[in-house]
Amino acid sequence: MKFLPEFGIDVSTIVFCCFAFFAFIQLIFTILIYGRIAFHKQKAINHHNEGVSIIIAARNESKNLFKNLPHILSQDYPNFEVVVVNHQSIDDSQYILDAYKREYHNLRVIEVKKSTHLKYGKKLPLTIAIKGAKYDKLLFTDADCIPASSNWLSKMTAQFSDKKEIILGYAPYSKTKGFLNAIIRFDTAWIALNYFSFAKSRLPYMGVGRNLAYTRQAFNKVSGFKSHYSLSSGDDDLFIQDAAKKKNYSITIDPETYCYSKAPKSWNEWFNQKSRHYTTTPKYRVIKKLMLGIYPLTLLLMLGTFVSLLFNIDFILIVSSVFLFLLIVKWIIIGMAFKKLNENKFIIWIPLLDIFYAILAPIMYYSVDKSDTKKW
């Protein structure tokens, strides 16, 4: 069996050329895009004591507020406030917040009463909080989130500078037993790998509202959520697409800056969550859609051509060698990136999960309801 077959103008040669092209794209994308996170070094932080407003938009979150709010209110930072917008809640949120206000002097509560004239989306309460915040530096999270450490606030906002007015953080889900939880956590880590890698490549397209910081000036420069206010989602990804320029943002990959929340407990709940997120994708710019589609598309096409060439004895050795080399490179680089995200449990499974996710993601995208009808 020869390593290099005799090439001619035939179907097998054309298929091999296609395989080689797709494999080359996979290699270049892995090294040049994902490699930016694999070899990322967190820049030295700028210690400062400037005031920060932590903003939480909450609706019917009494249990989460009772459990999680003290972790946020007791951050190790000298000068901050926590602004909670209790948006049209009908549970016990108001009573819990009133109790915490008596205990924590840095808690401010804005009550938005239930009204048939108001939407349930987060953009209105977030805008109210941003306009009324005491400080210009703003850090956002959700009521169901718990910071990984008491240094979350100081380390997230330490990346602010005269030039950096947007900070992208990571918000993983807590680990529990079960296949669904593992898939959701991998999905979250893979999404983070993408938006961090693209941000490092000067193509920022999203952040996550569960762990995101920016200045009031950055918000005002793009008129807030005006360009996508009609959508219930988009307060994080579409805002970042509008506000993040080539040099005005930074990323923070530090386990102490992560914000954890509980993952959906059923497939239906997760699909509903994904469908809300997918309502914003039509608003993504064309170049970013193309960049996001390159990796999974070329991976599936490469796999298809690889399998077809395995039936041709002349090509088995060379295509197997190329495939194995690419697999090892991807395993190393994506594994290093996942280690940076503190997702070590997935590293051993990356070759399988890489293929599985490339198949699952488009199935989910085209099967879920992407109409903007889901309530927050």
- Check residue 173 and report its DSSP letter: B
What number is the average pLDDT over the span 356-367? Answer: 80
**Using CA atoms, how far apart are residues 362 and 318, in angstroms rounded to an integer?**
30
Q: Going by DSSP bridges, is the β-strand pair 259-261/145-147 parallel, antiparallel, or unpaired?
A: antiparallel
Tell me: pLDDT of 8 over 90. Answer: no
CA dihedral sign, ordered 347, 287, 162, 129: negative
- Residue-wise pLDDT for 71-82, tens only, equals 999 999 999 999
CA dihedral sign, ordered 328, 334, 337, 338: negative
Q: Closest Cα partner for 26 from 310, 306, 365?
A: 306
- Which element (helix H / strand E) includes 7? none
Phi, psi of 213 (to 5 degrees): -135, 140
What number is the average pLDDT over the span 145-163? Answer: 94
Tell me: pLDDT of 11 over 70. Answer: yes
pLDDT for the residue 23: 97
Structure tokens at 212: 């995101």
pLDDT for the residue 15: 92
**Using CA atoms, how far apart are residues 148 and 164, in angstroms rounded to an integer?**
23
**Using CA atoms, how far apart are residues 97 and 86, in angstroms rounded to an integer?**
9
| 52-278 classified as CATH 3.90.550.10 | yes
CA dihedral sign, ordered 344, 348, 349, 352: positive
Which residues, other chains included, contact 296 with Cβ-Cβ below 8 Å and sequence gap of 6+? 357, 358, 361, 362
Q: Closest Cα partner for 55 from 120, 134, 2?
A: 134
* pLDDT tier for residue 189 given thresholds of 50, 70 and 90: very high
Going from N- to C-terminal start, the domains of the chain cover 11-39+286-367, 52-278
Give Cα separations from 180 to 175, 259, 312 (angstroms). Answer: 11, 20, 38
pLDDT for the residue 265: 93
What number is the average pLDDT over the span 278-294? Answer: 87
pLDDT for the residue 254: 94
Cβ atoms within 10 Å of 186's Cβ, excluding its own: 21
pTM: 0.90
- Residue-wise pLDDT for 51-63, tens only, equals 999 999 999 999 9
Share of the chain above pLDDT 90, in %: 72
What number is the average pLDDT over the span 275-285? Answer: 85
Q: Which residue has the tokens 């967190």?
A: 42
**Using CA atoms, how far apart are residues 234 and 59, in angstroms rounded to an integer?**
17
Tell me: pLDDT of 2 over 60. Answer: no
For residues 53, 57, 61, 63, the Cα torsion angle rounded to the nearest 10 degrees is: -10
Structure tokens at 3: 């390593």
Share of the chain above pLDDT 70, in %: 92
